[in-house]
Structure 1
């Protein structure tokens, strides 16, 4: 059977059915319920990271190998884009040789459009300026593995409205009954485009979405408190005094006063004493390391979806 080539540039590329298929499959990989097989045997997966990465790069490399594919790794100085070849031409050439290209870049999401349009290569966005969709899938897999479902969860994200926050807002709001509240520093919130899209998705799904720029009247009875590091990979802050703006948004144990059962999530790397205190990150409610491991399980599910061999979720 001929395999498909489907690209994942944004969570918006996924139908609701696709989203749930990937999450269910990722949970199956994470819990050992996925049958041992090599569905990508014969495939070649390129792994191109123009920016640093520990978890995502390792996850896709290890995940592709575990699924039977071979990998071709590219570093930031390896391709002829450094000598003037256009990004689009590079994508057209690679599509003649690779089955999947996983890419992290400081470019805009639109820059991946020509790559994703190739008929014989799937493109996976492993992080761009605007969105980190595979992180959101990892987060959903982690939540479902822990709680048994994503629907109805109460989640508070604290910190910058960065590409991780954007992807989370665009994915989590698609599950009925979810309550997602973001607390972001003034001037460092979600883009207007992402916020409007998240609000529309929440309305359609019957979930709840809100963003505030203070730490007053925090929501109660939370299931998850989530943060990311303050200095997002590949970005700089417009103000030299940005740490003063971020200081009130540090995640400390006081957030558990009204939500004693809440689990803590962090996409790592973490800076103890900045976005989160050590007692929270290393404490009994932290799922940060499970979340990191689930990057590989998410990567495997994404690769299977891209090639049309991801099983359908039971509904």
Structure 2
């Protein structure tokens, strides 16, 4: 009776969605396609999680992602159990491995955003032999990437060939966008980041190399003046990413040139605007851009739900 708590099953491996770089091209395309399908018809499924129990663990703040996954679980037939930052015995010193073992013997899947690194989510999956969805870690926000690419597909009919300019910090959203778009062909992603605030060099190199095999370009520059002359989308995120701090006191001065206002958007008069929200009007983006007629940010936010449905449906096929 106690073996489960002291030993892992032979050959236990992590399973779920941790990084879009872990998935193959067909899997990412399916996730994006189904998110678009659900945007047109949220009832386009056969309740694949009926009879299942989904854990929703968020130890950091969330409006869109937590609501989206809880609602998605219900719509797909699962019974969700939600956990907040003070609900588990990890607060009293229980290890991540032991926590994973307990969750794995009671839940069918887990959606998690924790204060720790991505390796903690992988450890929960291995320890509990349970599928885990990374609902945002410091290293990457993969379900945001699915949402972003689905928004692009919904807007222009496909992701292939999309030209995206990203401005701001090379944070977990930017990493997910790079990892995700590397699975599509003929795209151009240019990331304009302040010096010292770009994507980790190894992540950028790996994504760019995979993308190049499909004729997609992923590059990083350090001034908006270096952005190409054509774009389908201009994307920014909040400068102060949830739960993070900047190492230098004058960081705002470095970010000011990356402010997205009407003057910047006029360089690409046909481009749509994207933002993962929450937004700080007057900081990373002007209110006239965020709330203007070229903004897709609110449709993008709605697609957090359909992307969550797509993700959980994908997991259901693997339970």
SS in 2 for 1:202: helix
Pairs within 5 Å for 1:216-227: 216-227=225-236
| 1:252 Cα offset (Å) | 1.1
Number of aligned residues: 306
**CA deviation digits over 1:5-39, x for unaligned, max 9?**
94001112211111111111110000117525311
Gaps of 5+ in 2: 1-13
Q: Give CA deviations for 1:144-201 in whole Å, capped at 9, x if unaligned.
A: 1111000001000000000000111111122110000000011111111211112112
2:258 paired with 1:249: yes
In structure 2, distance between residues paired with 1:228 and 1:102:
23
Corresponding position of 2:100: 91
SS at match of 1:205: coil
In structure 1, list runs of 5 or more residues that go unmatched: 311-315
In structure 2, relative to structure 1, the CA distance for the partners of 1:34 and 1:219 (3 Å cut) is farther
* From 20, 24, 31, the counterpart of 1:22: 31
Counterpart of 2:116? 107
Higher mean Cα deviation, 65-74 or 114-123? 114-123
- Equivalent residues of 1:6, 1:307 under 8 A apart: no
Change (3 A) 1:118 1:204: farther
- TM-score relative to the length of structure 1: 0.94
Which residue number in structure 2 is paired with residue 274 of structure 1?
283
Report the counterpart of residue 238 of structure 2 in structure 1: 229
Is the 8 Å Cα contact of residues 9 and 116 (structure 1) preserved in structure 2? no
Aligned CA RMSD, in angstroms, stands at 1.6
Deviates more, 1:188-197 or 1:155-164: 188-197
* Equivalent residue runs for 1:1-315 within 5 Å: 6-32=15-41, 35-117=44-126, 120-308=129-317
Cα shift readout 1:22-71 (whole Å, capped 9, x = no counterpart): 11111000011752531111010000001000000000000100011000
Check whether the contact 1:51–1:105 (CA below 8 A) recurs between aligned residues.
yes
Q: Distance in 2 between matches of 1:13 and 1:34?
A: 29
